[in-house]
Structure 1
Amino acid sequence: MQFLRNNLFFIFIFIFCTPREREYNYKNFIVGGPCEIKFYCADNNTAHRILTEIDRELKYLDSLLNYFSPNSLVSRINREHRAQLPKDIKPVFLLSDSISRLTNGVFDISIAPLLEIWGFYSNQKKIPAQVEINQAKKFVDYRKITIKRDSIFIPESMKVDLGGIAQGFAADRVSEIMRMYKIKSAIINIAGEVYALGNSPKKRPWVVGIKNPRGEGVIEKVGLIDGALSTSGDYEKFFVVDGIRYAHIIDPRTGLPAQNYASVTIFAESATFADGIATAVSVMGAQEGKKFLDSLGIKGIIYYEQDNILKRLETE
């Protein structure tokens, strides 16, 4: 998930939902992708304060977690191999470590050297030589990341990239703003990481579409109330060589792009957790991923391709 910057944002206010509440929308392209946020509020001044705070928060997160910005916290960590962690940003690094341990390293924010040699940070995607893969793998190991008090330390030649979890973290942070203002109905979508607050205005679950990984439109719709949903797919950033699809989610164990999945959707209370687990299950593949989710009681939907036929697995 690449981080792109766009300081323009658009606010739309329309549709009377009830005699008391109006619909407010925030749209932007920041924190790595398109952001669409909808909420309902009875007071216009309060709504505009919320919109301003959302914009400020997302720009703040982008300024710290953007892999490509030379002035970001992530770039400073990668350049200097150490940095002070702001108290409000430290949790995403700690949760990343927890998910890495939970998945035995399948999720790993130190994946950047492998993404780099595969060309996913540029427009020059290529299959690297095995010797390049082996060399890059030496610098991928979450266990060598050290967090002490408010500081983070990484070895030389290691680079971190929070693209597999940062957008979920952003969705959670926006949901906290909504709760602070006692908003009861909202839907937050940060580049595919979704958080639903309460019911929709129709007093029904929010309806979220799962994209068809091999076609246009959505492949199914699901309901969401007071929870998060994260979808990762091999259709987002990929290239094809000799009929083989190479997508941007890399298996840190092999150094190769993950196979045996087309789309992974995870449901959880936290969008940050859902985002990281969706990345990990994509690496595991359909069957291993389902066993992992079942063992932890995590709800998920996995689509994978077999003999050019799209198949579906759902956790029990």
Structure 2
Amino acid sequence: MKSFLRASLALLLAVSLHAEERRFVFERPLMATRFAVTCYSEDESTARKAADEAFAAAEEINRIASDYIPESELMRLPTGRATKVSPVFAELLTASFHFAEATGGAFDPTLGRLTKLWRESRRTGQLPEPADLANAREASGWKHATWDPAASTILLGKPGMQLDLGGIAKGFAAERMLAVMVKAGFPRTCIAAGGDLRLGDPPPGKTAWRVGLQTFNEEKPEEVVELANCAVSTSGDLHQFAEIDGKRYSHIIDPATGLGLTERIAVSIIAPTATISDALDNASCVIGPEKAEAVALKAGATRVIVRTAR
């Protein structure tokens, strides 16, 4: 009997050791784009449960930091008074103001008024009225906001100032989602959040994930890179732009003008975390092709790929 049990146990162990991990993809609309969790597991229901928990972590960030949700913590911030924020919001604000300083304001978390104005211009195909643009610019500027990480308080120092964390929140969410998946036992996971990818361990039998970097070519990526345990974000005007009065404007706002960029530039940032790569891809487009690489590398990127279209 004991021999039979030992043989059965040996057989079960052999089956377990050779169980094949399958690829599962779970998708969900979030933060005005589409999020996807790609992971490898022997069991779909266990993988789905972990993915649901990962999406819940991202949805929490969206509820806190979205400027599309009137009751979000971000939208309820008053001006002229230091306000204590929640722990998750505090982490996001710490990263945001760090990158504002690291990029010399090319990444600016205080452009909420300008963002809303530019969204309307892209919708209507008309530039903002000069007075409206001037008022929105006056209400912006990261140096006029005071973030105190020790006290977890934010002071918006300009009347009407609003935050916009759209340039970092998706990467921040992707970072937290991967952490959830790894904790649940799924290190072989890729999180896609719009143009941001957070990559964990590579797929079974592979040494890396293959990532296509698509910037100006609608048909195929200009470059394919192999990456693992890092993040990559790409920003440009391939899909998001507006043509107004014969001029092409990007969705990326230049803090210096309050309008979308008019120089065609696309930047891919490879970095240790998606929070870093997401913050630096848009900022690098604002900085411009001559200085983007140097600034981004100093701010935490490991590789910067800059392309321009003439």
TM-score where L is the length of structure 1: 0.83
Structure 1 CA distance, aligned partners of 2:28 and 2:156? 33
**Given residue 143 of structure 2, which amino acid in structure 1 is its aligned partner?**
R
Q: Are 2:306 and 1:302 equivalent residues in the alignment?
A: yes
Structure 2 CA distance, aligned partners of 1:116 and 1:51? 32
Name the SS for the 1:302 alignment partner: strand
Deviates more, 1:164-173 or 1:138-147: 138-147
Match of 1:153 among 151, 155, 173: 155
Equivalent residue pairs, number: 289
Structure 2 CA distance, aligned partners of 1:58 and 1:295? 28
Residue 278 of structure 1: how far off its partner (Å): 0.6
Match of 2:214 among 202, 208, 211: 211
Any gaps of 5 or more consecutive residues in structure 1? 1-17, 307-316
Task: Describe the shift of the 1:47–1:215 C-alpha distance in structure 2 as closer, same or farther (beyond 3 A).
Answer: closer
Q: Deviations over 1:143-173 (max 9, x none)?
A: 2222341332213210101101000001101
Q: Is the 8 A contact 1:113 1:140 kept in 2?
A: yes
Any gaps of 5 or more consecutive residues in structure 2? 1-17
**Given residue 150 of structure 1, which amino acid in structure 2 is its aligned partner?**
S
Question: Corresponding residue for 1:28?
Answer: 28
Residue 59 of structure 1: how far off its partner (Å): 2.0
Q: Is the 8 A contact 1:259 1:283 kept in 2?
A: no
Q: Is the 8 A contact 2:121 2:128 kept in 1?
A: no
Structure 1 CA distance, aligned partners of 2:234 and 2:57? 23
Q: Which has the higher helix share?
A: 2
Q: Are 2:79 and 1:75 equivalent residues in the alignment?
A: no
Task: Describe the shift of the 1:87–1:107 C-alpha distance in structure 2 as closer, same or farther (beyond 3 A).
Answer: same
Residue 188 of structure 1: how far off its partner (Å): 0.8
Name the SS for the 2:123 alignment partner: coil
Percent pairwise identity: 26
Task: Describe the shift of the 1:151–1:279 C-alpha distance in structure 2 as closer, same or farther (beyond 3 A).
Answer: same
Greater Rg over alpha carbons, structure = 2
Question: Corresponding residue for 1:56?
Answer: 56
**Given residue 232 of structure 1, which amino acid in structure 2 is its aligned partner?**
S
**Given residue 250 of structure 1, which amino acid in structure 2 is its aligned partner?**
I
TM-score where L is the length of structure 2: 0.84
Structure 1 CA distance, aligned partners of 2:119 and 2:126? 6
Match of 2:284 among 274, 281, 286: 281
Q: Are 2:269 and 1:266 equivalent residues in the alignment?
A: yes
Question: Corresponding residue for 1:311?
Answer: none
Residue 120 of structure 1: how far off its partner (Å): 4.5
Q: Is the 8 A contact 1:21 1:41 kept in 2?
A: yes
Name the SS for the 1:194 alignment partner: strand
Name the SS for the 1:286 alignment partner: coil
RMSD across aligned positions (CA)? 2.4
Q: Which has the higher strand share?
A: 1
**Given residue 218 of structure 1, which amino acid in structure 2 is its aligned partner?**
P
Deviates more, 1:60-69 or 1:158-167: 60-69
**Given residue 133 of structure 2, which amino acid in structure 1 is its aligned partner?**
I
Name the SS for the 2:139 alignment partner: coil
Question: Corresponding residue for 2:10?
Answer: none
Task: Describe the shift of the 1:71–1:185 C-alpha distance in structure 2 as closer, same or farther (beyond 3 A).
Answer: same
Structure 1 CA distance, aligned partners of 2:48 and 2:69? 29
Q: Is the 8 A contact 2:125 2:243 kept in 1?
A: no
**Given residue 303 of structure 2, which amino acid in structure 1 is its aligned partner?**
K
**Given residue 168 of structure 1, which amino acid in structure 2 is its aligned partner?**
G
Q: Is the 8 A contact 2:39 2:186 kept in 1?
A: yes
Structure 2 CA distance, aligned partners of 1:225 and 1:90? 28
- 1:32-51 equivalences under 5 Å are 32-44=32-44, 46-51=46-51
Question: Corresponding residue for 1:310?
Answer: none
More relative contact order, 1 or 2 (CA 8 Å, 6+ apart): 2
Structure 2 CA distance, aligned partners of 1:27 and 1:82? 38
Structure 2 CA distance, aligned partners of 1:137 and 1:100? 16
**Given residue 256 of structure 2, which amino acid in structure 1 is its aligned partner?**
R
Deviates more, 1:146-155 or 1:232-241: 146-155
Q: Is the 8 A contact 1:258 1:285 kept in 2?
A: no
Task: Describe the shift of the 1:172–1:238 C-alpha distance in structure 2 as closer, same or farther (beyond 3 A).
Answer: same
**Given residue 68 of structure 1, which amino acid in structure 2 is its aligned partner?**
Y
- 1:87-126 equivalences under 5 Å are 87-120=87-120, 123-126=123-126
Match of 1:164 among 167, 182, 194: 167
